[in-house]
A and B are shown apart, each in its own frame.
Chain A
Amino acid sequence: MTATLWRGAAQRLRTNPAAVVALAVIAVLVLLALAAPALNPNSVEALDWSQVATGPGVLHAHWFGTDRLGRDLFVRTFEGARTSMAVGLVAGAASLTLGLGFGTIAGYLGGRADYLMMRVIEILSGLPLVFFVIFLTVILGRNGYVLYTSLVAISWLTMARIVRGQTLSIRRREFIEAAVASGGSPARVIMKHIVPNVLGPVAVYATLMVPQIILFESFLSFLGLGTQEPHASLGTLIAEGAGEIEAAPWILLAPGIFLALLLVSLNVLGDGLRDAFDVREPA
């Protein structure tokens, strides 16, 4: 099922124009973010006192303009984009792994273990997260690890629930029983027979989780809890721009448009994938 499931899904995705466009937009954004330092010689930190808060244009060196310290917004926007996308991918992958492990174990073991594990998830998702992040930042100081940890801490919970649900739906299937009857240990059954079979729907959810993480990172950075100067993420740039919205709207626009494009495209792609895998229909 799964190999052809992936192939069939890829085919169905190709026939969905919105998803194809979204995929193309994401590809362009990723390429731009990676290529930006080579396209424009300005550095992220360099201050250009002759061009403070200049508007965008192609005639001078700063295509997207500069901020009030004279830093180049083209370079900074894509630096921020790289940070945001890296955060999305790394925290997304970590949540996926954690959720997959936790969810399959809870679903497979069932009974009391499942009960306890799911209550842990519920308690964790009941915590007020912004407060939790502020708390962590105060104790551990502002650094990247706190940021990643808190992002993973919120996003793996839903992933674990989804994986558990999928696991429950296949754990009573006969091929699992056959694997146990053939002498497979629980770890082996989970790794070889459950994980590959829940991966389809889980992949869909993962594509929808990445934009959520990016958004949450931007939100934390906007509040000053995330990425710190002189580094930029889309969130810090937007926060900076929001302060100058009347005098210099371009400071907000460049990172704002990028973030909106990225989030919309990722969500459209995720929706397309969900249709392609037809997750609502039992596998």
Chain B
Amino acid sequence: MSATAPQPEQPALRIDGLKVRYGTGRRGADGASLAAVRDVSLQVSAGECLGIVGESGSGKSQVFLAALGLLASNARIEGSVRFDGEELLGLPAAALNRTRGAKVSMVFQDPMTSLTPHMRIGAQLAEMRVHHASATWREAERRALEMLERVRVPDAPRRMRAYPHELSGGMRQRVMIAMSLMCEPRLVIADEPTSALDVTVQAQILALLRDVRAQFGTSIVLISHDLGVVAGIAERIVVMYSGRVVESAPMRELLRTPRHPYTALLTECAPSLHRARLDRMPCLKGQPPDPTEPEIGCAFAPRCPRVSDRCREQRPPLTRIDELSQVACHHPHAT
């Protein structure tokens, strides 16, 4: 798993100062707005597997939807998203469509609804290749079959002719992954790919993603609210809270010595076989801040066990600890 350490070469995806706001007031009126992403900068190196962790509403999906131009039309986006050195934000749709699906592809959360219901599996897969690589249908279908076999869909030739509703959830997610790989993208963004699946199937899909990375050498961004899911596959983890990155570090380091108190609490919330059984699962009290309110001080302060007066007044900047780790906290745990 440690085969590809982040390389000094140009990152595959580089996000700088990304902000996403939604106008909630009347059209034109610059009144109320909701900050989904307050300020996010991150990089994904070539061949790297990056995990993004955060609870609902932390903006983790928004960052990548914004990067691919998939946000609702009332979203206002600032900052920069560079893929292979090319700026994606503000790119016209036609140009963006040459990147989406071909060089960067997405795997969505719910495989039950992400496949077009009226098309056979084989045709849906092949279409990607016909559309982006101008392959012939015959070629594309051969490739679709090969992909299904590579994501270990049993009895692939028969599944090619099946409709989505004839497959189980796990099988459909395999199909989605196969589809995301049809054009050999440099980056696959998996947005909660296992959340809609049973735990046993979840493990299979994660194993598959790991395998895909080994086979194809693509970078993977795995977005999840579950630290456990991400820990099994990511080399580096970015923890988000309230639209900001609060900590980013290599996976082992982050799990062993979390610097940010939020990360620490997340790791404690995960049930473990190695720790003594507790009567109650520890849980994080309180709610994340309202995204329509302006932020004062650290967003995590109201729920933080290490909170001080300074936290309530002054927002801690994201500071570099070493070459691979960053944390945004006034009172980080010393390593």
Interchain pairs with CB closer than 8 A, number: 76
Whether a CB of chain B sits under 8 angstroms from the CB of A249 is no
> A177-B70, A178-B108, A180-B70 in contact; A185/B114 too (CB < 8 A)?
no
- Asked if A132 is at the interface (CB within 8 A of a chain B CB), the reply is no
Chain A, Cβ-Cβ closest to B127: A192
Determine the chain B residues whose CB is within 8 A of the CB of A181 once the complex forms.
68, 70, 100-101, 105-106, 108
Residues of B contacting A110 with CB < 8 Å? 73
Residues of A within 8 A of B97 (CB): 183-185
CB of B131 within 8 A of chain A? yes
Find chain A residues with CB under 8 A from B117 CB: 1-2, 175, 197
Q: Is the CB of A175 within 8 A of B132?
A: no
Enumerate chain A residues within 8 angstroms of B127, measured Cβ to Cβ. Answer: 192
Q: Which residues of A contact B110 (CB under 8 A)?
A: 174
The number of residues on chain B lying at the interface, defined by a beta carbon within 8 Å of a beta carbon of chain A, is: 33
A185 and B127 alpha carbons, distance in the complex (Å) = 13
Q: Which residue of A lies closest to B191 (CB)?
A: A181
- Whether B267 sits at the interface, judged by CB under 8 Å, is no
Instruction: Say whether A196 faces chain B, with CB atoms less than 8 Å apart.
Output: yes
* In contact, B101 and A182 (Cβ under 8 angstroms): yes
Q: Is the interface of A mostly helix, strand, loop or mixed?
A: helix
B105 cross-chain contacts in A, Cβ below 8 A:
181-182
Most chain A beta-carbon neighbours within 10 Å: one of B93, B99, B108, B117: B117
Q: Chain B residues near A60 (CB, 8 Å)?
A: none
Q: Tell me the nearest residue of chain A to B179, going by C-beta.
A: A182
**Looking across the interface, which residue of chain B has its beta carbon closest to that of A182?**
B101
A182→B102 CA distance, assembly (Å)? 7
Q: Which chain B residues lie closer than 8 Å to A182 at the CB level?
A: 100-101, 105-106, 128, 131, 179
Chain B hits for A192, CB < 8 A = 116, 119, 127
The answer to whether A138 has its CB under 8 Å from any CB of chain B is no
Shortest distance from the beta carbon of B17 to any chain A beta carbon, whole Å: 24
- Is A188 a contact partner of B114 (Cβ separation < 8 A)? no
Is B115 among interface residues, defined by CB-CB distance under 8 A? yes
Are B118 and A183 closer than 8 Å at their CB atoms? no
- Give bound CA distance, A5 to B68, whole Å: 33
Contacts of B165 in A (CB 8 A): 1, 4
In the complex, A24→B276 CA distance in Å? 75
In the complex, which residues of chain A have a beta carbon less than 8 angstroms from the beta carbon of B98? 183
Question: Quick check: is B94 within 8 A (CB to CB) of the other chain?
Answer: yes
* Contacts A196-B118, A197-B118 given; does A175 touch B113 at CB 8 Å: yes
Chain A: residues with CB nearer than 8 A to chain B? 1-5, 110-111, 173-175, 177-186, 188, 192-193, 196-197
A-B contact pairs, 17 of them (CB 8 A): A1-B117, A1-B165, A2-B118, A5-B118, A175-B114, A177-B70, A177-B114, A178-B108, A181-B100, A182-B101, A183-B102, A184-B97, A184-B131, A185-B94, A186-B93, A197-B116, A197-B118
